């Protein structure tokens, strides 16, 4: 089953995707992770994307759609999770065309809803391992020893530039203006399921699994 996980910044898309990869062997396609990898490697794509991302704005569609096309071509036949793409209706229309071209199908669009105050707390407290990308939270999911990544032993667990207060505000606004309308779009395609994204990770995961199996 191929799914799209979408919702506001900090809703837990990356966290739930990691659980789906671990327990179901799915392929995770996260445009945010792909951009961060390109920035780390200082590729032309990364250099172009960095300014937009640090400010909390969307990277232009043309760049993003080409990147997703390459990722979809390299799933190796595994079921995939799209996380962070599409992020507006024009990207959703481009995705529809891409899927036809690649003979793939999107089975479900799962929308994670979390109240705004919780989102701000999750984003401002998030920490990420620079080496393996594991995601933590200073209170909900702290590092066991306070400084070393529990997954890979990496010593550089950092706060994303776009998790600072100013960027968070822009990202939440961009979400309201551009991404929330996708709910109506996927309702129209008859593949939308709304999921309550509060509670701990395992509660949310149980709801995701129910939605996938329904
Ligand atoms: P991206 O990385 O996709 O950012 P996002 O969509 O804003 O989502 P986040 O990664 O912030 O949050 P998440 O929902 O994955 O939450 P997480 O699981 O980490 O994109 C970054 C930027 O790249 C964009 O702003 C844009 O500039 C650009 N970009 C990306 N895609 C693009 C596109 N298609 N077009 C154009 N530009 C694009 O969890 C967050 C925190 O909460 C963590 O600390 C976690 O531990 C904690 N947490 C998770 N679940 C729970 C829970 N149940 N209870 C308590 N805490 C929890």
Percent of the chain predicted with pLDDT > 70: 100
Q: Which residues contact 2 (CB under 8 A, 6 or more apart)?
A: 79, 80, 81, 82, 104, 105, 106, 107
pLDDT of residue 208: 98
- Going by C-alpha positions, the residue among 32, 37, 38, 39 that lies closest to residue 11 is 32
User: Does the CB atom of residue 10 touch ligand 1 within 6 A?
Assistant: yes
Q: Which residues contact 104 (CB under 8 A, 6 or more apart)?
A: 2, 72
Could you tell me the distance, in angstroms and rounded to a whole number, from the CA of residue 33 to the centre of ligand 1?
Answer: 9
User: Does the CB atom of residue 50 touch ligand 1 within 6 A?
Assistant: no
* pLDDT averaged over every residue in the chain: 96
Residue whose CB lies within 8 A of the most ligand 1 atoms, among 122, 174, 178, 198, for a mutation test? 122
Q: Which residues contact 26 (CB under 8 A, 6 or more apart)?
A: 17, 20, 78, 79, 80, 81
Q: If pLDDT is split at 50, 70 and 90, which confidence band does 9 have?
A: very high
Distances (CA, A) of 10 to 74, 76, 154, 162: 27, 29, 23, 11
Task: Look up the pTM and report it.
Answer: 0.96
User: Does the CB atom of residue 59 touch ligand 1 within 6 A?
Assistant: yes
pLDDT of residue 4: 98
Q: If pLDDT is split at 50, 70 and 90, which confidence band does 200 have?
A: very high
- Going by C-alpha positions, the residue among 48, 56, 4, 59 that lies closest to residue 26 is 4
Q: If pLDDT is split at 50, 70 and 90, which confidence band does 190 have?
A: very high
The architecture that CATH gives domain 3-115+179-213 is 3-Layer(aba) Sandwich (3.40)
Q: Which residues does the annotation mark as catalytic? A: 13, 87, 126, 160, 171
Could you tell me the distance, in angstroms and rounded to a whole number, from the CA of residue 175 to the centre of ligand 1?
Answer: 11
Q: If pLDDT is split at 50, 70 and 90, which confidence band does 196 have?
A: very high
User: Does the CB atom of residue 160 touch ligand 1 within 6 A?
Assistant: no
Q: What average pLDDT does the segment 34-47 reach?
A: 95
Q: If pLDDT is split at 50, 70 and 90, which confidence band does 212 have?
A: very high
- Going by C-alpha positions, the residue among 194, 36, 198 that lies closest to residue 119 is 198
Rounded distance, CA 27 to CA 75, Å?
6
Q: Where are the domains of the chain?
A: 3-115+179-213
Q: If pLDDT is split at 50, 70 and 90, which confidence band does 174 have?
A: very high
Q: What share of the chain is helix, strand, coil (3-state, %, to 5)?
A: 50, 15, 35
Token reading at 85:
């793409």
Rounded distance, CA 188 to CA 83, Å?
20
Whether the ω angle into residue 86 lies within 30 degrees of 0, i.e. cis, is yes
pLDDT of residue 150: 97
Segment 130-161, tens digit of pLDDT: 999 999 999 999 999 999 999 999 999 999 99
């Amino acid at each position: 089953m191929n799914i799209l996980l979408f919702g506001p910044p900090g809703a837990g898309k990356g966290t739930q995707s990691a659980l789906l990869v671990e327990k179901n062997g799915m392929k995770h396609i996260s445009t945010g992770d792909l951009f961060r990898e390109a920035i780390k490697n200082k590729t032309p794509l990364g250099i172009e994307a960095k300014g937009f991302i640090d400010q909390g704005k969307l990277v232009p569609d043309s760049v993003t759609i080409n990147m997703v096309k390459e990722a979809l071509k390299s799933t190796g036949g595994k079921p995939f999770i799209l996380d962070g793409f599409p992020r507006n209706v024009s990207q959703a229309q481009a995705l529809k065309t891409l899927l036809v071209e690649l003979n793939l199908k999107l089975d479900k669009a799962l929308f994670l809803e979390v109240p705004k105050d919780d989102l701000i707390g999750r984003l401002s407290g998030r920490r990420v391992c620079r080496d393996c990308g594991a995601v933590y939270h200073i209170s909900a999911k702290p590092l066991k020893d306070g400084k070393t990544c529990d997954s890979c032993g990496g010593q550089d667990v950092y706060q994303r530039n776009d998790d600072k207060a100013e960027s968070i505000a822009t990202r939440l606004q961009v979400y309201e203006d551009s991404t929330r309308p996708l709910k109506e779009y996927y309702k129209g395609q008859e593949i939308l399921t709304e999921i309550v994204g509060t509670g701990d990770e395992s509660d949310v995961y149980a709801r995701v699994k129910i939605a996938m199996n329904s």
